[in-house]
Amino acid sequence: MTVTTTTCVHAALALVVATAVHGQQATDQQRLDALRREIAALRGDSTNWLTEERAAEIRAVVTDVLADADTRATLQGGGTTSGYSDGFFLSSSDGAYSMKINVLQQMRWSFNDNEDDAAVGGGGGGGGGVAGVGGASSGQAYGFENKRTRLGFSGNMVDSSWTYDIKYFLGYSNSVEEVGAGQLSDVSVTKAFECGATATVGQFKLPFSAEYAVDAGNLQFMDYSTVDATFGAGYGQGVRVNYASGDVRLAAAYVNAIREADADWSANSPTSEWAFAGRAEAKFAGTWQQFDQSQSWRGDSYGVKVGAGFAAERDNGFGDSMTSALTVDLTVALGGANITAAYYVYSFDDTGVTAIDDSNPSAFVISAGVFVSDTCDVAIRYEYADFDQDLGGAEKFSAITVGSNWYLSRNKAKWGVDFGYALDAVSALYADQAAGNNWLEDATDEDGQWVLRTQLSFSF
């Protein structure tokens, strides 16, 4: 039998293939056996597989996910959202209706030394005066007061272009404003237009001075200066139009009377024949939002703002009697320091009172503050006023105040201490408004009154 070369080759190839297949089968069998051993080990080891405890955890997670999905589905169908963002808020899912709730709480302790055992005392318009009201003072007055407890509601209705603002004072001691405890300060409805203008109807702060435009909870000092409280325009009831475009803002208001709030309508309404107030301001650096508070925090941008305000009214009870006021102001934010200055001037015409007619009372305030750390600042304020009449010294008011604040959470929570010294006697011309800063009315020709104050302020 003859074996050819081709046959030998075929036989050799068949042997190689058979050997390779057998080797591959052996390898696959080894892998399969290894997998079977691992599966058997997992089944036998309860700590490495699905225990009852893990099964319960998985069921709980699934339940939470399903509940969250159900909640989201409910919200999409018309539920509400809530939370905190510069105030506690509620909102409809489409944003058409919302309400934000804010609280301002200020508790103050003060010690006043007026150097005069027969000081007259003095009281504010809102909640009565400090010690000494209604009789002689011992020369010193001290104690605690609930300076402000204010509840606020704001938000939008119908759609985002309609907003409302309501603020109510549950308590107010020695008011520097036209409102007191148990009274509304702000109550208004505003419509915003696409052109940048807004129209407001109700009771509101009149557009006049820069200092009074800052909310009481955002002040660097414990209260508005006595000069601004005396020469400012305060509140009014009527209509206001605002316009903002880039670095310019304008505002004008027509009201029943300057410095009037919560007035009833009667047969003698309005209090004045007519009354207007307006303000214009320009921003040369920074953002408008940073001027909503008196401080300039470390890390803030550089900002400069100038403004001017005008107010005038014709009185109903004195024929052609007219009062007008003008103010100009400058605010500079330096990113950790701030400087403000303001000048005020009044004009009285045809009042029928010789001592007042054609006089031009004027005043100014200048203040500065600087942060010595991220949470602590020091500040100083000087204020001066002159009634422009020779009243034996009673026409003047001047005081200097120095203080410091410790900010626990910026203006949301802070503790302040300050010391004030009156360089002139606090006369009856200024006593009512000065009481808001814990000054007492002095007897004639007395000066050197001083006051030490400390205050906790919470605004949230």
pLDDT in tens, 101-144: 999 999 999 999 987 544 444 444 433 333 333 344 558 999 99
How many Å apart are CA 31 and CA 43, to the nearest integer? 19
User: Which sign, positive or negative, has the C-alpha torsion 296, 300, 303, 309?
Assistant: negative
* Stronger pLDDT, 329 or 93, i.e. the higher one: 329
Average pLDDT over residues 357-380: 95
**Can you read off the two tokens belonging to residue 185?**
């300060």
What does the pLDDT average to over 214-232? 97
pLDDT digits (tens, 9 = 90+) for 179-211: 999 999 999 999 999 999 999 999 999 999 999
CA 99, CA 155: separation in Å to the nearest integer? 5
Give the residue-averaged pLDDT of 223-246.
97
What amino acid occupies position 384?
Y
Mean pLDDT, the chain, whole residue set: 85
CA 448 centroid distance within chain = 34
Q: Are 387 and 361 in contact (CB under 8 A)?
A: yes
Residue 26's φ and ψ, nearest 5 degrees, are -65, -40
pLDDT at 445 over 90: no
Q: DSSP states of 406-419 as a string?
A: EESBTBTEEEEEEE
Contact between 95 and 105 under an 8 Å Cβ cutoff? The reply is no
Q: What is the mean pLDDT of residues 321-344?
A: 96
324: closest CA among 349, 353, 341, 343? 349
Instruction: Give me the pLDDT at residue 354, please.
Output: 66
Residue predicted with more confidence, 38 or 417: 417
Nearest residue to 229 (alpha-carbon basis) of 401, 396, 436? 436
What local confidence, expressed as pLDDT, does residue 34 receive? 74
Question: What gap in Å lies between CA 384 and CA 449, rounded to an integer?
Answer: 15
User: How much of the chain, in percent, has pLDDT values that exceed 70?
Assistant: 78
Would you call 267 helix, strand, or coil by DSSP?
A: coil
More confident residue, 344 or 83: 344
In the DSSP assignment, the letter for residue 424 is S
Pick the more confident residue, 172 or 24.
172
Question: If we measure between CA atoms, which residue out of 236, 314, 239 comes closest to residue 274?
Answer: 314
Residue 77 CA to residue 69 CA, distance in Å, equals 13
- 410, 229 Cβ separation under 8 angstroms: no
3-class DSSP assignment, residue 71: helix
CA distances (Å), origin 95, targets 79, 88, 169, 275, 430: 11, 15, 28, 37, 47
99: left (phi over 0), alpha (psi -120 to 50) or beta: beta
Q: Which residue has the higher pLDDT, 74 or 395?
A: 395
Determine if the pTM surpasses 0.85.
no
Q: Please check whether residue 389 is in contact with residue 359, taking contact to mean a CB–CB distance below 8 angstroms.
A: yes
Looking up tokens 């955002």 gives 218
* pLDDT classification of 321: cutoffs 50, 70, 90: confident
* Element at 76 (helix H, strand E): helix 52-76
d(CA 345, CA 236): 20
Instruction: Calculate mean pLDDT across residues 353-379.
Output: 90
pLDDT at position 177 is: 83
Residue 303 host element (H or E): strand 303-315
The pLDDT value recorded for residue 9 is 42
**SS3 (DSSP) at 118:** coil
Sign of CA dihedral 155, 159, 163, 164: negative
pLDDT reading at 18 higher than 70: no
**Residue bearing the bigger pLDDT, 236 or 119:** 236
Please report the pLDDT score of residue 123 as a whole number: 45
Confidence grade of residue 74 (pLDDT, cut at 50, 70, 90): very low
Contact between 290 and 302 under an 8 Å Cβ cutoff? The reply is: no
Q: Return phi, psi of residue 93, to 5°.
A: -65, -30
Structure token pair of residue 116:
């005069």
Write out the DSSP string of 220-254: SSSS--HHHHHHS--EEEEEEEEEEETTEEEEEEE
270-288 pLDDT per residue, tens: 889 999 999 999 999 999 9
Q: Please, which residues have CB within 8 angstroms of residue 323's CB and are 6 or more apart in sequence?
A: 258, 312, 313, 315, 346, 347, 348, 349
Other beta carbons within 10 Å of 434: 29
Give the mean pLDDT of 375-400.
93
Query: Which pLDDT score, from 0 to 100, does residue 112 have?
Result: 97
CA 178 to chain centre: 20
What is the reported pLDDT for 214?
98
**Structure tokens given for 86:** 């510069």
Q: Class assignment of domain 107-146+215-234+242-459?
A: mainly beta
pLDDT at 13: 45
Phi, psi (deg, nearest 5) at residue 176: -95, 5
pLDDT at 75: 43
- pLDDT tops 80 at residue 167: yes
- Per residue in 21-64, pLDDT (tens digit) is 455 555 666 777 777 776 666 565 545 445 666 667 777 777 77
